[in-house]
Amino acid sequence: MNTTLHTAIVKNTALQLGFDFVGIAKARQLDDEARRLEEWLNRGYHGEMRYMENHFDKRIDPTKLVEGAKTVVTLMYNYFTDEEQTDPTAPKISKYAYGQDYHHVVKKKLRSLLETINTEIGEVNGRCFVDSAPVLERDWAKHSGLGWIGKNSLLINKKQGSFFFLAELIIDLELEPDAPIRDYCGTCTRCIDACPTGAITEPYLVDGSKCISYFTIELKAAIPQEVAGKFDNWMFGCDICQDVCPWNRFSKRHDEALFEPHPDLLGLTKNDWEEVTEEVFRALFRKSAVKRTKFKGLKRNIDFLK
């Protein structure tokens, strides 16, 4: 078994498919991460995201997801754009949701990678994951040397920052693992200082139930009045802790056509959003991740900003 050759095939194919970075880690149970996850859940930092309590054993052990797993391949797919909404007073939408739903776009590429592995190396048992299963993606990215987990709990890549989707390929093929890198956050606290709702309770620890993204996407009930006036005009998601991160000065514009926004999206005014109809919502977000919040949810968010 030529692990060096196989590793080169996997990495080169991933880059050819458009992934920006690829890292490899040995599949194993993540004991330290298991303790941290358990403490995070016990604090109730997942709020109403009850699914975070499910499949704990699978979250910490990839061999529970793929029998005989030997390797976790982590891939990074850039979504950064310098395009902005034209009306500075309009409710804001996170960059990751400008274009088509990343789950479908990235998973299609992952499947192509797995097909190539099976064709060029031989039959491999594996599964593709794009934020859709119990996988500790940021931890695997860290162990794969793709970056470090910042004080805002996001994976930061030294070359291009944090505006990336993470994806994983868990396979029963042995590859050469990469070494993790050190933390480069230093004494910086910009993300902590900038968070309007105080969701980053301490460095490297985020109370998910206080995050603007949680309130505008995950929370199905009414948004509590105690956070009124603290959303900095975000109606879907939030980019604040990334926008202020010094490492994102190295971000480069993505070249994925499917991530381009609907032609009308960025030009909508504050008044347009406040009067948005379900018909317009469907046209704008037909293939978008914004569909997750549904029209009713987005209207709730917009009304909360008034």
SS (H, E, C) the chain: CCHHHHHHHHHHHHHHCCCCEEEEEECCCCHHHHHHHHHHHHCCCCCCCHHHHCCHHHHHCHHHCCCCCCEEEEEEEECCCCCCCCCCCCCEECHHHCCCCHHHHHHHHHHHHHHHHHHHCCCCCEEEECCCCCCCHHHHHHHCCCCEECCCCCEEECCCECCEEEEEEEECCCCCCCCCCCCCCCCCCHHHHHCCCCCEEECCEECHHHCHHHHHHHCCCCCCHHHCCCCCCEEECCCHHHHCCHHHHHCCCCCCHHHCCCCCCCCCCHHHHHCCCHHHHHHHCCCCHHHHHHHHHHHHHHHHHC
Residue 131 a catalytic site member: yes
Single out the catalytic residue among 131, 172, 243, 272: 131
Distance between first and last Cα of the chain: 62
**Catalytic residue positions?**
131
